[in-house]
Structure formats: C-alpha cells, structure tokens
Structure 1
Amino acid sequence: MAETLRNKIFDGVFAPGCHLMEIALATELGVSRTPVRGAMARLADEGLLVYLPNKGFQVRRFNAKDVFDAFTLRANLEGMACRLLGERGIDDEVFAQLAALVGEQARLLQNRDWTSARALRWHELNLDFHRKLLQAADNRWLTEAVYRACQLPIIFDSNLRPHNRDASMQLYRHEQALQALDDHTRILEALGQRDGVEAEAAMRDHILGHRDLLVHHLRKNATEARAMARV
C-alpha cells in the first residue's frame, strides 16, 4: 500500500501540497481505511507526507534548496560508491554489463530524432547504470542513504520525465543526454583503470551537473509563476 501511494506521489498524481483523504483513497483502492492510514504514516516517516492536526496528511512541498541539498548529498554518496569500486576493483562481469549499458546509450543517441520513446529509454538506461554501480559497491547503508536522497527531488522531476508529450520539457534533451553519456564513459574508464579518485570525481561531476540543471529549471518556473501572479 505504501509503495502504491509513494508511486502516485513520484508520478505527480498527488502534487506537492495535496491533501490525501483517507476515506476517498480507501474507496479508490478497494481496501479498508486501516492499511491506508498505516501507509500514510509510513510515508510521513520517510518525509514524503506531513501530518497536519485536524487536516490529515499532505504531500510535502520541497523548494529548490531541498533539491540542491539532496542532489549534493547524492553526488557525494554515489561518488563514494565509485571510489570504493575503483579501489577494490570491479568484477569483470559487472564491468561488461555496465559497458553494455553505455554502448546502448551511445547507439540510442546516434539518432538525432529525439522522440519521447527514445528519451524514456534513455531514462531507463540511466537508472540501470546508477543502480548497477550501487549494487556492485555492495554497501547496504550507502545504498539506503542514496535511495533516501533520491526521494525528495523526484517529486519535482515528474513533469520533466521523458513520457511528457512536450519534448521541450524533457529533462534529458538530446544535448544533455550526450553530456551524460560522456560522464558515464568517463566513470567507466576510471573504474576500468582502478582509479578510485577519478571515478569518484567523475560521478560527482555527473550528478552535480544534473542538480544544477534541475535547480535552474525550478527557479525559472518560480520566477515565472511570481510574474504571472502580479499580472
């Protein structure tokens, strides 16, 4: 139940500031109020919901600073994972799997016709690349910390995901995906050379670049919203 509600928040079905009505949700999902109540309490513990006395649960609002801080933390954590891998040495099979992902990313980007379907596939490959690196680092505490850091900004990310019909709103436009591919290649080369310092720096640069892109978009949207409110 918690996963169902969490996904609805991540997908933008429940927008920041939205009040979740226990009875309505139970009816919609075909369950009693008890599991819905428990799921909302769990998401409040995770920081995705806030409880307001006499009003119930509300989807937490995050500002640009929240996103900036979460991505900064993630950059350091995933950078650490790459450093550990570089120092320890990466398994040949895992390295081959990562190389295959990067190869598919490169082939995808050879076509300048950057459709929503291609952007969505890029998004999936990017997630697979990061997940596989974390799995290879083999540190449960590190993985859980990264997972927690990823939960906050994804609420903002929902309207920028590749399935959005407006290609100009895609977070990964073709030129940005090309830069990400270069970053992934740099990370992979450093791991292949067992250069933990370079692997860490490459991952940090990669995530911080993504952070700056998203924060810029959020601040631009906020400025435009304030301007429209004054009209």
Structure 2
Amino acid sequence: MSKTFSTRALSIADTLRSRIYEGGLPPDTHLMEVPLAAELGVSRTPLRDALARLADEGLLAYLPNRGYVVRRFQFKDVYDAYTLRANLEGFACRLACQNGFDASAMTRLDSVLAKQQEVLYTGVWSVERALAWHDLNLKFHSLFLEIAGNHWLSEAALRVRRLPLIFDREGRPHNHGELQLLYQREHSREAYSEHLRLAAAVKHGEASRAEGLMAEHILHNRDVLNQRFKQENEGG
C-alpha cells in the first residue's frame, strides 16, 4: 500500500527537490536529519517522510547505517532515460495525432518551428543561442505531450526528462557552458530537420509515422549526447 504524505512533508519534499535539480545538493551529498531539520525549521517526522518520498522518485538513495544521500547517475542512466523518453514521447505523438491538432495547435507548432529556424540560421552561434534553441526544443516536445491529453503520460515523460540529474528543473544543463558541447549548431540543425518531418506527419494525421519519427529523433539525440559526454570525459 502506498504511503500518504502530509502537506508539510510534501512541501519539504518540494524544497529539497528544487535544491537537487538546481545543483544546490549535488550527487553524493549526505542528508543528515538533525542539521537539515534545523536548517529548514521543521521537525524530523515530516522531514523523514519527505526524504522517503524523494527516494521513491529516484532522487535519493538510502544507505544502511548512513541514511539518505543524493543519488549519483552514470552514463547508463542517461542512455536508459533517453530510451524510455523515446517510447513515451513517441506514444504522445500517436495520441496527439489521434486527438487531432486543431487550428490553434497548428499555429503554435508553426510558431515554434519558425523561431527555431531563426535561432539556427541567423547570427553567430553562442551560449545564448544554444540556450534559446534548447528552450524552443523543449516547447516543441512539450506541445505534443499537451495535445496528447494524458496526464499520467505527461507526468512520466517529464520525470524521466529530469532524470538523470544532468539538467535542472527547467530542463537546462546546470552549467550553461555545457550547452555548446551538447547543442552544437550542426547537430541542432539536424534536429530541426527532424522536427520538420515530424510536423509534416502530424499535419497529415499519420499517427504511426509520427510515433516512429519522434522515437527515432530522441534516440538519435541520446546517441549524440552519450558520445559527447564520453568524448569530454576522455579528453577527446
């Protein structure tokens, strides 16, 4: 039976979750109950419940005789998270097609694509442009989840998008300088071309094709991201 958490425990969990996503509590940080309760001005009972909830979410790990620590993720976690995202967001595209994009949704989709084209094909590539591309990319993906109209699917996709903790709660890398590593212009333009093909499938109501294109798109990003992180760690 799932545990029911008090409003106080949920509030504490929100506070700690935000700190973890923003990098204020980095991986391997030992969360000691007494000083943490004093810092937050709370009693230990709701704090324990909050820590248990975050452990259930996969953000914390419980170590016997030590307590809770912020979980550290590995390359395999990145790989596995993107693999799951591909399936979840691919299904979201299928549902979006089945639900039907109305004129308003089509206008929003075209607007995002136009802004992506401007960012990618004008001016000098920079951290600021990479950040703008990243945010527009999230808007593109989030639109399909919204039109799919399935709350549980959206919750699952958003959670797996945040894990492993290479991104903050807004989906951006903790160090914005990493954007130029993650989002090089050439790869971003490839991704934009994939967005155009996906949008065309949606506009023609091709649900199966849209599902496959989204899954392929995310798996491609997974492989690029994984390779670049490996190169960075190897000094290549």
Q: State the TM-score, normalized to the length of structure 2.
A: 0.82
Work out the CA distance in 2 between the residues paired with 1:165 and 1:60. Answer: 23
| Structure 2 CA distance for partners of 1:136 and 1:122, relative to 1, 3 Å | same
* Contact 1:48–1:59 (CA under 8 A) maintained in structure 2: yes
Q: Choose the corresponding residue for 1:209, options 217, 220, 226.
A: 220
CA RMSD of aligned residues (A): 2.5
Work out the CA distance in 2 between the residues paired with 1:195 and 1:19. Answer: 49
Work out the CA distance in 2 between the residues paired with 1:126 and 1:167. Answer: 13
Work out the CA distance in 1 between the residues paired with 2:232 and 2:19. Answer: 22
* Contact 1:123–1:162 (CA under 8 A) maintained in structure 2: no
The farther-off stretch of 13-22 and 48-57 is 13-22
| Structure 2 CA distance for partners of 1:195 and 1:36, relative to 1, 3 Å | same
| Structure 2 CA distance for partners of 1:180 and 1:31, relative to 1, 3 Å | farther
* Contact 1:49–1:60 (CA under 8 A) maintained in structure 2: yes
Name structure 1 gaps, 5 residues minimum: 225-231
Q: Secondary structure at the match of 1:132?
A: helix
Aligned to 1:113: 124
The answer to whether the aligner puts 1:65 opposite 2:59 as a matched pair is no
| Structure 2 CA distance for partners of 1:196 and 1:179, relative to 1, 3 Å | same
Q: What is the deviation of 1:28?
A: 4.5
Q: What is the deviation of 1:221?
A: 4.7
Work out the CA distance in 2 between the residues paired with 1:179 and 1:14. Answer: 35
Aligned to 2:173: 161
Name structure 2 gaps, 5 residues minimum: 1-11
| Structure 2 CA distance for partners of 1:222 and 1:162, relative to 1, 3 Å | closer
Amino acid corresponding to residue 101 of structure 1 in structure 2 = V
Percent of pairs identical after alignment? 45
Work out the CA distance in 2 between the residues paired with 1:118 and 1:30. Answer: 41
Q: What is the deviation of 1:194?
A: 0.5
Q: What is the deviation of 1:129?
A: 1.6
* Contact 1:120–1:163 (CA under 8 A) maintained in structure 2: no
Q: Choose the corresponding residue for 1:199, options 210, 214, 234.
A: 210
* Contact 1:162–1:172 (CA under 8 A) maintained in structure 2: no
| Structure 2 CA distance for partners of 1:166 and 1:61, relative to 1, 3 Å | closer
Q: State the aligned residue count.
A: 222
Work out the CA distance in 2 between the residues paired with 1:167 and 1:87. Answer: 35
| Structure 2 CA distance for partners of 1:20 and 1:81, relative to 1, 3 Å | same
| Structure 2 CA distance for partners of 1:168 and 1:115, relative to 1, 3 Å | closer
Amino acid corresponding to residue 161 of structure 1 in structure 2 = P
